[in-house]
A and B are shown apart, each in its own frame.
Chain A
Amino acid sequence: MAAIDFDVELRRAGAHATGGWRRVLFLAQRHVLGAAGLVIMAVFVFTAIFADFIARYDPLSIDSARALARPSMAHWMGTDSFGRDVFSRIIHGARISLAVGIGSTALGGTIGVIVGLTSGYLSGWVDLVFQRVSDILQALPLLVLALVMTAALGPSLPNVIIAIAIPLIPTVARVIRANTLALRELPFIEAAKSIGMSEVRIALRHVLPNTLAPLIVLATAQLGSTILTEASLSFLGLGIPEPYPSWGRMLSESAAEYVRTAPWLVIFPGIAISLAVFGANLFGDALRDILDPRQRG
């Protein structure tokens, strides 16, 4: 162990000295899976941004003559029951699915961190109130809550993101709060107090960085479930309004009806969702390790 650590240590020193691209390459070599995850994420983001140039057909144009065509050279992933090109719809769907997935995870995660940190750090009645509200939110399934929210707010992209983010808050807040409770009893927090540091600074500088590991794992895991929640909402007519494609709706619309007769309608959106979640998880795991000094060797 000692010999390996020493080697890593030397290389790390070199990586620090050069910085920039050399450093990214260096980290990619050490975290091959994480680099793969980053590439997957980057490809999806790239397709989402340049969807208009990559897609070969208009994702919304209906052509009943070509309905339910098998995958072929003309339609790489076949067509759906309206004759729309599945490949083009998946390319365009990346926009909505990623916006919903990343947007709601980021929104719910940020608010969850703030709530969890305040709740765990201040404790007392603040904690009591936050925890009971969390209990109420968590007693209801994610989907039911999101359903009520979108029904109240009306279906549109920002509203869907908000509706999915709110049920996430208590989940994130619980994890952060539990970590904060454990951390604030540690001597380094007491040392910070004896220096005369303000409570806000202690919370941000000493407590928050030490809750990063579970937060990153939780966030990347939630990314997948938010994409699927959006699918369910869309299926019930409360998600992104028709006819704009999202992976979730493509999957849920065709799952029951066409899974035997036209399986490509189910397989390709399913692969897109799995790949995005897989990529996010790989990248998240690597990010957690890179940000943890103890894992750096």
Chain B
Amino acid sequence: MTEILLEVTDLKKHYPVRAGVLRRQVGTVHSVDGVSFSLGAGETLGLVGESGCGKSTVARSVLRLVEPTSGRIRLDGEDITHLSKAALRPHRRSMQIVFQDPFASLNPRMTAGDIVGEPLAVHGLASGKALEARVAKLFEQVGLRPDQMRNFPHQFSGGQRQRICIARALALGPRLIVCDEPVSALDVSIQAQVINLLIDLQRQHGFSYLFIAHDLAVVAHISHRVAVMYLGRIVEIAGKDELFRNPRHPYTQALLASVPVANPLAKKLAPLVDGDVPSPVNPPSGCAFHTRCRFAMDRCKTERPALLEAGDGHQVACLLNDGTGRSQLAPTT
């Protein structure tokens, strides 16, 4: 087992819903509702799920860009959940983020070189010629020409901008990079380039990725392990191959069955799940998935299944797997 870099325990983020003149709290959005996972050094954990399931909130909480309601985040063994801004500053060097929208994540009034060099300048790590040289090196690392440093973000294509974002994240030499859907705004051909760049950089530098996406093909390509989220909870975590070969949670099975196959003659599987994701304001009792699950039993409405070991580092939160360590469901693929 590799050394654990990031450990998230029972992370919760609830947003109050306020209404009326007195701004009284009328409800709570359970954006993230008890998420636990760990991430080893040099490892990539893919985090997948439908829109609104709390993936991005997990990402932002890990970086303390949003304050978690409860839970614990440990980076390199140190609890960073309640550190003050000043105390957190040195840890910021260890963790960086790449966002989904490469158009909004770069300041339009700064040159690409200034954007990439800013983290170094802010932490006082380099200035003047030395800074310029380091920025040039970062540009080369992400496949951009150093003479493009003087250009402004609007002069780059979407893929190039995402490379600038990656260079900015690399600047401080982080140990963890959180990628919040880094390729979903890009063309498919560009997606592959950026993903391969991310993989190459990981091989060179050995940092870890928390990789958030809704595209299963992308996640399958880059991740070592994959976690599936549904309504603010992780329903299944397993090694990539294990998860795709042997999905145990009915939701994961439905998710995998919905991946389009590039063969028009392939027999279409009947959708395994229908309806919409319930509102996170009043999530269903018990297992959050019971309203859409094919195998729902009476127990599922009242008991919330815990994330339990099901062999081979495979963890599932489903009452069907409860305690047996063996799936009672036939795999669908």
Q: Which residues of A line the B interface, CB within 8 A? A: 16, 186-188, 190-197, 201, 206, 209-210, 212, 292-294, 296
Contacts and interface: CB of A to CB of B under 8 A. Distances in A.
> Which of B93, B109, B122 has the most chain A CB atoms closer than 10 A to its own CB?
B109
Interface string B111-130: 00000001100110000000
A16 B111 CA distance: 14
Contact of B101 (A187, A292, A294): A187
Contact of B105 (A188, A212, A293, A294): A188
B109 A190 contact: no
Contact of A206 (B93, B107, B154): B107
Interface in B185-202: none
B108 A194 contact: no
Contact of A196 (B92, B106, B152): B92
B122 A191 contact: no
B97 interface: yes
B21 interface: no
B168 A191 contact: yes
> Which of B107, B119, B152 has the most chain A CB atoms closer than 10 A to its own CB?
B107
A187 B96 contact: no
A197 B122 contact: yes
Given A194-B65, A195-B119, A196-B122, A188 B92 contact: no
B185 to A, nearest CB: 11
B123 A196 contact: yes
15 contacts: A186-B104, A186-B105, A190-B60, A191-B97, A191-B99, A191-B105, A194-B97, A195-B118, A196-B88, A196-B89, A196-B123, A197-B122, A209-B109, A212-B109, A293-B109
> Which of A16, A190, A209, A292 has the most chain B CB atoms closer than 10 A to its own CB?
A190
Interface of B: 60, 63, 65, 88-89, 92-93, 95-97, 99-101, 104-110, 118-119, 122-123, 150, 152, 154, 165, 168, 172
Given A188-B107, A210-B108, A195 B154 contact: no
A190 B99 contact: yes
Given A188-B106, A190-B60, A194-B65, 8 more contacts: A188-B105, A191-B168, A201-B122, A206-B107, A210-B107, A292-B109, A293-B108, A294-B108
A201 B122 CA distance: 9
A195 B122 contact: yes
Given A187-B99, A190-B65, A190-B99, A195 B105 contact: no
Contacts of A192: 118
